[in-house]
Amino acid sequence: MLKLFFITIYLIIFLILSFKNLKNSVYLVILTLPLYLVRFKVFGLPTTILEFEILILFVVFFIRALKYGDTREIISNFKSKIINFKLLLVGCSLLLIASIISIFMSPNLYSAVGLWRAYFLEPFLFFIVFISIMNKEDFRKVIAVLGLNVLILSLFALYQKFTGEFITNPFWAAEATRRVTSIFTYPNALALYLAPVVIMLLGFFVAGIEKQKLRVKELSKNWKLRIENLLLILSCILGFTVIYFTKSKGGLLAVLVGIIFYAFFYKPFRKYFLGFIIIVFLFLFFYILMNGLPNFKGDTTVVGGDSISTRLEMWSETVKMLKTRPLLGSGINGYQSALASFHQKQYIEIFLYPHNIFLTFWSETGLLGLTAFIIIVGWFYVAGFRKTTNDRQQTTDNKRQTTVIDCKLSTVLMASMIALLVHGLVDVPYFKNDLAVLFWLLIGMMIVVSKTQNSHNLKQCLGNRN
């Protein structure tokens, strides 16, 4: 009862904040993404703080739109943000249709509805609010909030690393095999969350520093800017360190590929890219020369299996299962029961998902859902490269300095998404409450940065009206 009391007080405060300033509520949702771990029941129905935050956010957005705004203007503004991106609209529509169909394909309808709400409905509601009221100038606060989020999670993870406390799994808590989890229940959950966010923070920090280098005197006097820069660099350092302490090879690979992508496609870094690659290969050469080949498979955690072997077996069994139901998959939350008759390697448990983002979308939402996901990601990179090319051409034509919120921002977002996708080759970077919202946050930011015009009246009546 005491837990429910404090949750109620918090949600009331969130409701009041939403009516006072909707943008601040968006920032708070981003800051508290891990609060999906705080679960409770309302009239017997399971839910989380994060789910309630998003529902409150959307309802208040809708009420304020009716009270202060013109509904037609809201619809027009939303169209200007997404309808013009026809490929994205097709992808979003197909994904919603596929996810709804997958509810009825599930062996447990009640559970499927709950997961659909958490992984598709509520993240999409957040996405609608985000692209309706946010603009590029707000991204500075979004990044600051993400930086604070990473800082809090990382500090707790470092405490775990040095003490072994608050790690529930004895194998991970043991000093010889210690893997940090922070407030999450397993190490990969932490790495999945941190990898794309840390790449985004690093990109914003580097681009911001370049923008500020011609204004050193102003920077020395602007204590807020100095604090923001300190927060970003500290969050990046601690975030990278904690990903290493999770011992998630997928997370480390995701970060490495994200950095390489950023270095290659971020124009000021291209001249350093070749040198970076040479340094990396020299480091790896001397490391292998002195220490031998690293253990890519990882420690064996079950008899006969390691992280790579178990995934290979899992993917093989999943493909066999999908061949028998290629169109509709197994339905939401139906993977375990669908795979049971194909499961041969008994030393491996049947996991919730096949630990590959493409196989997972295929299994959970069918071939239509997988196609929709590929379309959405494809649009993301088409829009990102188009924005980069257009802004670079505009910079050349106008002979002006491109700012951090132009083509540099699209490159940062693409690097963050590439980290998410690379990690998704060996894990599940979407089908978790916080990760689903994070994915749609990246899509929303790309929409906003790709569309320069916002409705002034809508921003005024919804974003900040006291």
What distances in angstroms separate CA 422 from CA 357, 456, 463, one per listed residue?
9, 38, 35
pLDDT for residue 72 = 60
Which among 147, 112, 126 is positioned nearest to 52, based on CA atoms? 126
Is pLDDT at 144 greater than 80 in this prediction?
yes
pLDDT for residue 403 = 40
171 versus 268: which is more confidently predicted? 171
Q: How confident is the model at residue 399 (pLDDT cuts 50, 70, 90)?
A: very low
What would the mean pLDDT of 428-441 be, rounded to a whole number? Answer: 96
Read off φ and ψ for residue 41, nearest 5 degrees.
-120, 140
pLDDT for residue 396 = 47
Q: Alpha-carbon distance 446 to 410, whole Å?
A: 7
Q: Alpha-carbon distance 357 to 427, whole Å?
A: 7
Q: How confident is the model at residue 273 (pLDDT cuts 50, 70, 90)?
A: low
pLDDT for residue 460 = 44
Which among 38, 18, 19 is positioned nearest to 28, based on CA atoms? 18
Tens-place pLDDT, residues 87-113: 899 999 999 999 999 999 999 999 999
Alpha helix locations (H) across 216-324? Answer: 216-221, 223-246, 249-265, 270-291, 307-324
Average pLDDT over the chain, rounded to an integer: 83
Is pLDDT at 199 greater than 60 in this prediction?
yes
Planar angle of CA 317, 116, 365, nearest 5 degrees? 40
Decide: helix, strand or coil at residue 152: helix
Tens-place pLDDT, residues 286-303: 766 666 655 555 554 444
Please say whether the beta carbons of 68 and 465 come within 8 A.
yes
pLDDT for residue 457 = 39
Tell me which H or E stretch contains 19: helix 2-20
Q: Alpha-carbon distance 320 to 257, whole Å?
A: 30
pLDDT for residue 62 = 87
Decide: helix, strand or coil at residue 51: helix
Please say whether the beta carbons of 417 and 377 come within 8 A.
yes
Return the domain boundaries, the chain. 87-281+348-463
Alpha helix locations (H) across 300-356? Answer: 307-324, 335-339
pLDDT for residue 381 = 95
Tens-place pLDDT, residues 220-258: 556 677 777 788 889 999 999 999 999 998 999 999 999
Tens-place pLDDT, residues 359-368: 999 999 999 9
What would the mean pLDDT of 162-183 be, rounded to a whole number? Answer: 92
